[in-house]
A and B are shown apart, each in its own frame.
Chain A
Amino acid sequence: MNTRDPDRPEPEAFLRAAAQESRGRLKVFLGAAPGVGKTYEMLTDAAARQRDGCDVVIGVVETHGRTETEALTRPFEIIARRHVEGAVRAHDEMDLDAILARHPRLVLVDELAHSNAPGSRHPKRYQDVDELLAAGIDVFSTINVQHIESLNDIVASFTRVRVRETVPDRMLDDADLEVVDIPPDELIDRLKAGKVYVPDEAARALGHFFSKTNLQALRELALRRAAQAVDAELLGDLRARALAGTFAAGERVLVAVDAAPTAAELVRAAKRLADALRAPWTALHVKTERSRRLGADAQAQLAKTLALVVQLGGATATIPAPTVVAGLCDFAAEARITQIVVGKSLRSWWFERRHGSVVDALVRGIDGVAVHVLPTGKPNASTDGTLRPARAPLRPLDYALTLGMVAAVTGIAEITTGPKTVNSVDMMYLVPVLAAATLFGLRAGLFAGVVSALAYNFFFLPPLYTFTIDDPANIVTVLVLLTVAVIVSQLAARTRVQADLAAGSARANAALAGFSRQLTGVATTTALAQSICAEVARLFDVRAVLLVPQRGDLGMIAAVPPGEPLGSVEMAAAQWVADKGRPAGRGSETLAAADWLFQPLNTARGTLAVLGLAREDGRDPVRPDQIALLTSVLDQSALALDRMQLEAEMAQVSRLKERDRLRATLLASVSHDLRTPLTSIVAAATELRAVAATPTTTPLLDMLDAETQRLRRFVANLLDMARIEAGALNLKVEATDLTDAVASAVHDVRRALDSHSILLDVPPELPLVRVDPQLFHHCLINLLDNAGKFALPGTPVTIAATRRHDGIELAVLDEGPGLPPGSEARIFETFTRVEGSDRTKDGTGLGLAIVKGFAEAMGLSVAASNRDAPHGARFAIRFPETLLVRG
């Protein structure tokens, strides 16, 4: 049902736009008829794109042996087709997986309406294209106008050629359309010249197709469809910008559908009307007493019609109501419908007399709604049969009981009143008639009426014990008995049906309520999955499994009843569902050959799990009338699973947080406690040097000094790392002069770098940068320290800052062995040290990790590389333009 307010911005419009950002673009070359040059145009267009540097491949292009077309395919890489060995003959189909693996920018896929050979992933090529688009690949494709779903009927009506391969309009709604147009005369000339490919078997049928009037009509259709696409695009923009007032004010189209095959025509007409009005549209099926008695074929036909609605982009709704008119009126009022499309079936005058015309009742029943009545085609004999109410089977017991009641009333009347008192007896016969009609239905009621009339006549009306009636007034009595039987049985039957329908709804609601209760009571995901499966198995009488993604693969976490693991075909189908978030398998559009139907459990966070349903007897797991229930069950399950997973994630997050906090506290206190003894050691060494320096102790004291310096640096680094890992960096950003910062850092590391000269190349005119001076100081110290460790003794260490187009780069350069090739990115990871350096160089391996951690916290980036002439390492910190102080 579509009840959104058109005056408000539509979230879907934004969502559609957002979805299209990452989706590939589809461009469709639309032609009025075969032979207009769609493929030629597509190839020419693609060649232009390729010249602009676009990565174009051919997925499938039908050249039909024409050399000029073939020449055009030459510049492109062609993805080899997949050979499919069919039952009747072999096919070469487009290799979808190869294209997805190759992942070009643009792929050419000819003939959008093509049906794939059995055994392909999708029955239709447009579904392949959909998957390519979803993978972010642009697609060029071609189509003739008669293959467009909503135009199929119109084309068939004047060409008398109906094509079975159709493409849903939604494919074209999001696509760029380009009409490939040539005048009809020219096309006919090309046809005569043999330039148009027509398969032999179809040539005869197409002879009529290519008449000039037909071609003119087709051409007009193509142009109109393209114009409509432009309108739709404009409309999409308008909706996204919420300029609601500029499109048709709140039109809503409703189409009434029943189980007749002709309903599809109504649906297409409604779609055209809705498109023209730029209005949302809904197809409504009213469940009445009659529709409840539909046979299985009719049910399937109805499901097909509703599927067509969904395919054409409409909403569907099903409501129970005593009559079609009542249902339509209620729904129209509730959903603020402005246009109703109904079919006027070519039923007999007699039928209309008896049942009243839906159309007349509708026009009388609702105000302010335009009613469009479309003649629908002659219902053909076979389908008409399915419309007839299925007769309840005759139950002899009902009739025997009816007979018994009549006999009992006759007996009682004989005993209590005697044969002469006629007048009160006729009333007594109402009892079996009412009882039979109420309890057993119309036919039993009529039967009771007839039998009662006969018994009354035979036993009580003069002349007695004959079926002759003397008094004409008594004839009336008999007729009254029959009439009462008819009326009462009708009323009773209607009440019973309504009660049944209400009970059905109540049952479904009760089932859902029970379902949600089941889901709220469980504590673990596994228990929840088991509950979902058990409930689904009970509600739909199926086998149910639940699969969730686990480390990239799907794993089964519950099955009711417990059974064999799924086969590889089933797993592939389930995986597809998990990837695409759309149903697949038995009874769906995709991979219908599987025994199982797989439904995704979707939430805003994506597909959380896949529910599989299968029936032992191999029928479709879900009946068409259960789809609504299934949808609710899926929604409820997805919500419950979502809640469970969020809870688990939150628990996980708080555990991690607690662990991080403890670790940070521990490290901080360890670092702090290390400093105090260090101070004592330093002071003690100094003291010793002052009071007891001898030639023997001096080198030992030097070593003590040097090692204490190292320990001091390690402790500082440990503390810094703890702060980074705990995410506890409270940035105090202020404008900082690089000259200043570099000078301070050089001052602090002067002792570690005493065997190197330090060259400063920091131009004073550089802008100030916004950083936390303390963190940046630590970055510089660690970089200089690192340079001091690896630079060859006596070589200079250079600090150079340069203005770049996108900011400032500050680099520390040394002359030494440089970095092992390939370690440039790894070098900044915690505890990474240059190979083979463990014994000769000191360092905890934390220094560069701290540089990276601090730099990134401040919005800077780091890079390491080798330099030549002189050979050595180069570490750079980059300041983006946004961190520079202007002025």
Chain B
Amino acid sequence: MTPAKLLIVDDEAAIRRLLRGTLVRAGYGVVEADSARAALSALAIDKPDLVLLDLGLPDRDGLELIPLFKGHAAVIVVSARDQTGEKVTALDLGADDFVTKPFDTDELLARIRTTLRHRLASEAETALVQLGPITLDLTMRRVTRDDTEIRLTPKEYAFLAELAKHPGRVLTHHQLLRAIWGPAHLDDVEYLRVVVRSLRQKLAPDGLAIIRNEVGIGYRLVRPG
């Protein structure tokens, strides 16, 4: 299999240089762009699998690029701005994940792996999701822990299944609410809180962390440990 090709979009040359070193050593092919214009031409010419997109670009707001990348490449947003609203917007526009500067290189590599795996895998292949002792069978609509079935309400199952379709990836509150309750309930975050609380009690009364709360943004499913 050819190594995945990554496009780094950042106007800081130092960051680009360092990321290139890290990513090349991790086995990825790397392309760079220092502006929105260069990024769009790189998208057309180099056809990258994944874009590391800095939102603070000199010629255009990085947010505007996300819909253009969508369908052609996965997008991980890299932002120096610690603003939740911006991240949520990016995710709702179709970005796959985000990291905040200054980020941890290991963390970034883990996110890249998750995103690429999700992108390369087809829906059918994710029919069985294993999270430590917990198994989700998306075809049978069954959840078991150590072979014991756990009874979930329809909403609880829908929530878990929605996350399981994108393992490791953050889903925003809006995305979750729209998928489970429909577009009329986009602001009823309370519903999510209640479902998550009850899910935690049923799935992991021992405190095992499998549903991570991204504060102010949404939820993601994580492998325990």
The answer to whether residues A683 and B216 also contact, given A690-B25, A739-B197, A768-B193 and a CB cut-off of 8 A, is no
5 intermolecular pairs with C-beta atoms under 8 Å apart? A683-B22, A686-B104, A743-B213, A777-B216, A885-B190
A747 to B107, CA, bound (A): 13
Please provide the 3 A-B residue pairs with the shortest distance between their CB atoms, ordered closest to farther: A683-B18, A686-B105, A678-B102
CB of A687 within 8 A of CB of B21, answer yes
A371 to B80, CA, bound (A): 87
Chain B interface residue number, banded = 20 to 34
CB of A708 within 8 A of CB of B102, answer yes
Does residue A764 face the partner (Cβ distance < 8 Å to B)? yes
The answer to whether residues A687 and B12 also contact, given A679-B101, A732-B216, A764-B197 and a CB cut-off of 8 A, is no
Does residue B128 face the partner (Cβ distance < 8 Å to A)? no
CB of B15 within 8 A of CB of A774, answer no
CB of B19 within 8 A of CB of A675, answer no
Interface string of B71-109 (1 = CB under 8 A from A): 000000000111011000000000000000111111000
CB distance from B171 to the nearest CB of A (A): 15
Interface residues of A in 873-887 (CB under 8 A from B): 885
The answer to whether residues A773 and B102 also contact, given A672-B81, A676-B12 and a CB cut-off of 8 A, is no
Beyond the given A683-B19, A740-B197, A772-B216, please list 17 additional residue pairs across the A-B interface where CB-CB is below 8 A: A675-B80, A675-B102, A676-B15, A677-B14, A678-B102, A686-B22, A686-B106, A687-B22, A690-B22, A732-B85, A734-B190, A735-B189, A736-B193, A739-B197, A739-B200, A760-B207, A768-B190
Does residue B209 face the partner (Cβ distance < 8 Å to A)? yes
Which B residues form the contact surface with A (CB < 8 A)?
12, 14-15, 18-19, 21-22, 25, 80-82, 84-85, 101-106, 189-190, 193-194, 196-197, 200-201, 207, 209, 212-216
Chain A interface residue number, banded = 35 or more
B contact patch SS: helix
Interface residues of A in 679-704 (CB under 8 A from B): 679-684, 686-687, 690-691
A690 to B207, CA, bound (A): 35
A676 to B18, CA, bound (A): 12
Which residues of the partner chain A approach B102 to less than 8 Å between Cβ atoms? Answer: 675, 678-679, 681-682, 708, 712
CB of A680 within 8 A of CB of B14, answer yes
8 Å CB contact of B101 from A675, A736, A741: A675
Which residues of the partner chain B approach A492 to less than 8 Å between Cβ atoms? Answer: none
CB of B213 within 8 A of CB of A683, answer no
CB distance from A731 to the nearest CB of B (A): 12
8 Å CB contact of A744 from B105, B201, B215: B215
Which residues of the partner chain B approach A672 to less than 8 Å between Cβ atoms? Answer: 80-81
A716 to B100, CA, bound (A): 11
Interface residues of A in 726-764 (CB under 8 A from B): 732, 734-737, 739-741, 743-744, 747, 760, 764
Does residue A719 face the partner (Cβ distance < 8 Å to B)? yes
A734 to B173, CA, bound (A): 11
A676 to B79, CA, bound (A): 10
8 Å CB contact of A740 from B19, B82, B213: B213
The winner among A682, A708, A885 for most chain B CB atoms within 10 A is: A682
CB of B80 within 8 A of CB of A682, answer no
Which residues of the partner chain B approach A735 to less than 8 Å between Cβ atoms? Answer: 189-190, 193
A683 to B105, CA, bound (A): 6
The answer to whether residues A764 and B200 also contact, given A744-B214, A747-B212, A774-B215 and a CB cut-off of 8 A, is yes
A675 to B104, CA, bound (A): 13
A690 to B24, CA, bound (A): 12
A245 to B103, CA, bound (A): 75
8 Å CB contact of B209 from A680, A719, A737, A747: A747
Which residues of the partner chain B approach A678 to less than 8 Å between Cβ atoms? Answer: 101-102
A885 to B194, CA, bound (A): 11
Which residues of the partner chain A approach B101 to less than 8 Å between Cβ atoms? Answer: 675-676, 678-679
Which residues of the partner chain A approach B18 to less than 8 Å between Cβ atoms? Answer: 680, 683-684, 687
